[in-house]
A and B are shown apart, each in its own frame.
Chain A
Amino acid sequence: MPAPDAAVGRVPAARLTTAERGLPSPWTLLATLIAAIVAVPIVAVLSSLATPRLEVWAHLWRTQLGELIGNTLLLLVGVGAGTMIVGTGLAWLVVGYRFPGRAVFEWALMLPLAVPAYVIGFAFLGLFDYAGPVQTALRHWLGGHVRLPELRSYGGVVLMMTLVFYPYVYLLARAAFREQGAATLETARSLGRTRLRAFLEVALPMARPSLVAGVSLAMMEALADFGTVATFGYRTLTEAIYRVWLGMFDRTAATQLASLLLLFAFLLLGLERALRGRARFVQSHRRGPGVTPAALSGWRALGATAVCGVVLGLAFVLPVGQLLVWARGSLDTGRLEFPSLLATTLFLAGIAAVTTCALAIALGYAARLHPSPGVRAATQFASMGYALPGSVIAVGVLTPVAVVDHALGWGLEWALGWTVGLVLTGSAAALLFAYVVRFLAVSFQTLDASLGKIPPSLDDAARSLGVGVGGTLRRIHLPLMRGGLLTALILVFVETMKEMPATLLLRPLGLNTLAVGVWERTSESLWAEAAVPALAIVAAGLLPVFLAIRLSATPRA
């Protein structure tokens, strides 16, 4: 579908000249090195396969393995479909139409990102459980036999995860739709398509890389989630890892189960590659004005407002409201440690976000310069940490770090006679490393999708003008990727703030974050006391979201 201002179609990726390809470039070396380091914990997890725990596997096979795999697959399908529909639908609604409240919804629909999954699950159970206020009221008015559908079920888990994970798809889809030139859509309209068909036939396929990236992030989150499935009693592979680990005290067997998760993640990434296909959709640099939203009126406008309102209400207003109710009675607990918790959290999240995005750019750019299967595979492998439960990846980080640490201590003692304690284990660096391993996928998926939209002809033009590889990145790509970069930074920042298991295991003595504060209280069922730090996570998560709104609202160059 040719359009005056957009080059849409299949184009080859940017390539270096043959002369440049003779030796591995510094970029390739750098990317391979990064990938190798980030992959160490994943290799550590896989290395558990060397000592097969056949007895445990036989037991699992006899009792539940089929159910676990089936449940996990069902969960992936449900969460994938749910986040796809909700995230894409809402994004198109706010980009493509005008209706009452749109200006607010456009940014407010990102807010659920700041709500940790473990919080929304408890808020829903608290409200809608048999003993909760909603069902109690219903029984009071309508009689004792009245019951709502059981939340502790497949449907309940998919609903929870869709509500917390749809913002990935929404954020990426919204950015993609906004980047599309109005003229592309107008051309489709001028060829007789309705607005809806133009969306389905033009806007949606062009946004495909971003949509697929968002959905696969949501699915990997679902794969790694332990808190929600444990709370809702839905048995998945991840949930079984913890049962084997803590119920049989067999960490090796548990890690082997985690390797099975990696297999799932591998399939997911393969699926993603297949869906993205070989097609690359690039937007020409001068795309003119963005999509002009069409005004909705009457019941359509009302419907659009209602849909956005319901999603926002369920995913944000309701859990935060519940937290506020819980927090009301416990405002003075933990007030003293509070500012330091907040400062530590923001500090760690900031460093993790910048580092992770910088590494992701290096990886993505290397893959762009050298689209070889080797570089591609290395980057994919390095980003698989996202599909592993936090505790598993944390142990995967801890073990090799401790080995290096002990070797270091031994070496120093042997060579110089110095006795040192542990330098790396229990340092901020080990914790930050875990964040990078865990969240590299988030920044890489986001940035890779946005890098892919820059036409390779721009690279060639810059290079022909004598600008080096690094200069091209800095002067051409980074400015064009601003939207994607911002999205990636926000995602990693917020994810790091919410991160619990790796922080718990790897943090230095005496260092605590908001998420640790939440955990210390919830692990004792002290929900009222946990509400204050949980609200702080949500509030601190709003910060980058607002920043993004401000920056994305400024006129684009």
Chain B
Amino acid sequence: MRGTRTVVLALAGLWLMPPLPGGAEGPEVVVYSARHYGQEAAYDAFTKKTGVQVKIFNGNTGELFERLKAEGDKTPADILLTVDAGNLWNAARAGLLSRVDSPELQANIPARLRDPEGRWFGLTVRARTIVYNTRKVRPAELSTYEALGDPRWKGRLCLRTSSYIYNQSLLATMIKRHGEAKTEEIVRGWVANQPSLINGDAKILEAIAAGQCDVGLVNHYYLARLLAKDPTFPVAIFWANQHTTGTHVNVSGAGVTAHARHRAQAIKFLESLSSAEAQQMFADLSYEYPANLQATVSSLVERWGRFKQDDVNVASAGEFQAAATKLADRVGYK
């Protein structure tokens, strides 16, 4: 039996191994992050300036929420950083974030890109708009999201599935703008055009370039990434709804957790991310629009010119998200 006992004891020992040593002792902020690209430079700059280490724990939004909830008042997380205003709104509603009163943040981030109650702040802006094949579509044929329901686009439209968070937020802000009945009519128009449902914004762009479809809806930076690699890529951007409500925008953003252990440092961290220099790093690395208007967009995106953004507060993406999901189910938008 000695062999068995050794195995059992060894296994027990391995199971109860203490967590890995946390690295250097010293001031730190712990970030639960559902955004995993393009922010490294801004984090490093913060550490260099303040000496505070940034510890990142990456995850999916839904799962990070569950972990925060389960950890409750003992969570190691100081910051929750995620993409999509709807997600931020839901985090605030679930009581995971705390109110921050920072004149600096309020000055740096425009009011429509942050929580009216100060629990989260948009840090980068992404536009979800129309893209088209430059060989097959003239920009004059395009106008609004609504007009993509026109029969002329039958069989020529590529969309993500309705469960994709950015599409949910687009529908949610449309509900806020037009009401449910009108939005339902618009989405019915899209569905009647039998869109190809493709999993991935980059894949939609490739499908348009290859001729599978002629128009689609994507986040602008995906096109920027492709154009940076291949300037002749035959897809161009069209700013939707310029004569009406403006193009739909969304944010990635962050808030200080309700039980942050390093609250003061966490607030400093957010302030630092909203500063013009950090915002410039975001914009250059990820082709997003900076939330802070003192920073400038990357030169590639600058060529697309200024456009009118929908000025509804991005928080409405969260407010009407469940309604948007149900609406999509009702009209058969899968």
Contacts and interface: CB of A to CB of B under 8 A. Distances in A.
A136 B210 contact: yes
CB-based closest 6 A-B pairs: A131-B210, A402-B70, A247-B325, A130-B212, A63-B329, A131-B206
B207 A504 contact: no
Given A402-B71, A406-B72, A505 B322 contact: no
Interface stretch (B136-144, B183-191, B197-205, B274-282): B197-205
B67 A525 contact: no
A243 B168 CA distance: 11
Interface in A210-242: 230-233, 235, 239, 242
B10 to A, nearest CB: 9
A230 B324 CA distance: 19
Contacts of B37: 524, 526
Interface in B28-53: 30, 36-37
A232 B203 CA distance: 13
Contacts of B22: 509-510
A409 B201 contact: no
Contacts of B199: 125, 152, 230-233
A511 B90 CA distance: 27
Contacts of A501: 63
B244 interface: no
B20 A510 contact: yes
Nearest to B23: A510
Contact of A249 (B20, B76, B90, B210): B90
Contact of A358 (B1, B7, B325): B7
Interface of B: 1, 4, 7-8, 11, 14-17, 19-20, 22-23, 30, 36-37, 55, 57-63, 66-67, 70-72, 74, 76, 90, 94, 161, 163, 165, 168, 197, 199-203, 206-207, 209-212, 222, 321-322, 324-326, 329-330, 334
Contacts of A391: 60, 62-63
Interface centre among A60, A249, A505 (most CB of B within 10 A): A249
Contacts of A129: 203, 206-207
A130 B210 contact: yes
B63 A394 contact: yes
A286 B197 CA distance: 59
Contacts of A426: 19, 67, 71, 76
Given A351-B15, A525-B202, 7 more contacts: A59-B326, A63-B330, A129-B207, A354-B7, A355-B11, A429-B16, A510-B19
SS of B interface (majority): helix
Interface string A369-398: 000000000000000000000010011001
A443 to B, nearest CB: 14
A427 interface: yes
A421 B168 contact: no
Interface string A495-522: 0000001001100111100001000110
Contact of B322 (A247, A354, A428): A247
Nearest to A391: B63
30 contacts: A62-B330, A129-B207, A130-B207, A130-B210, A131-B209, A131-B212, A152-B197, A152-B199, A232-B199, A233-B334, A239-B163, A243-B325, A247-B325, A248-B322, A249-B321, A351-B14, A391-B62, A398-B67, A398-B70, A402-B70, A402-B72, A421-B74, A422-B74, A428-B15, A428-B19, A432-B15, A505-B63, A510-B19, A520-B36, A520-B58
Nearest to B318: A249
Nearest to A250: B322
A246 interface: yes
B17 A428 contact: yes
A314 B199 CA distance: 22
Interface string A157-189: 000000000000000000000000000000000
A398 B72 CA distance: 12
Contacts of A525: 200-202, 222
Nearest to A512: B58
A75 to B, nearest CB: 16
A399 interface: yes
Interface of A: 59-60, 62-64, 125, 129-131, 136, 144, 152, 230-233, 235, 239, 242-243, 245-251, 351, 354-355, 358, 391, 394-395, 398-399, 401-402, 405-406, 409, 421-422, 425-429, 432, 470, 474, 501, 504-505, 508-511, 516, 520-521, 523-526
B19 A508 contact: yes
Contact of B329 (A64, A351, A427, A474): A64
Contact of A247 (B200, B206, B321): B321
A351 B67 CA distance: 24
B30 to A, nearest CB: 7
A474 B3 CA distance: 10
Contacts of A394: 63
A144 B136 CA distance: 15
A44 to B, nearest CB: 11
A242 B63 contact: no
Contacts of B1: 470
Contacts of B90: 249
B4, B15, B222: residue with the most chain A Cβ atoms closer than 10 Å = B15
Contacts of B58: 504, 516, 520
Nearest to A394: B63
B165 A246 contact: yes
A422 B62 contact: no
A552 B72 CA distance: 50
B11 A354 contact: yes
B226 to A, nearest CB: 11
Contacts of B71: 402, 422, 425-426
A64 B334 CA distance: 10
Contacts of B66: 251, 395, 398-399, 505
Given A358-B7, A422-B74, A510 B15 contact: no
Q: Which of B19, B168, B197 has the most CB of A within 10 A?
A: B19
B326 A505 contact: no
A129 B208 CA distance: 12
Contact of A504 (B23, B63, B70, B326): B63
Contacts of B334: 233, 235
Nearest to A525: B202
B251 to A, nearest CB: 17
Nearest to B206: A131
Nearest to A526: B37
Nearest to A63: B329
A455 to B, nearest CB: 24
Contacts of B70: 398-399, 401-402, 425
A235 B161 CA distance: 11
Contacts of A409: 74
A496 to B, nearest CB: 14
A501 B212 CA distance: 33
Most A CB contacts (10 A, CB to CB) among B163, B210, B324 go to B163
Contacts of A432: 15
A535 B168 CA distance: 34
The residue among B201, B207, B322 with the most chain A CB atoms within 10 A of its own CB is B322
Contacts of A131: 203, 206-207, 209-210, 212
B40 to A, nearest CB: 12
A97 B37 CA distance: 52
B172 to A, nearest CB: 10
Nearest to A350: B14
A509 B68 CA distance: 13
A470 to B, nearest CB: 7
A136 B15 CA distance: 51
A63 B333 CA distance: 11
Contacts of A405: 74
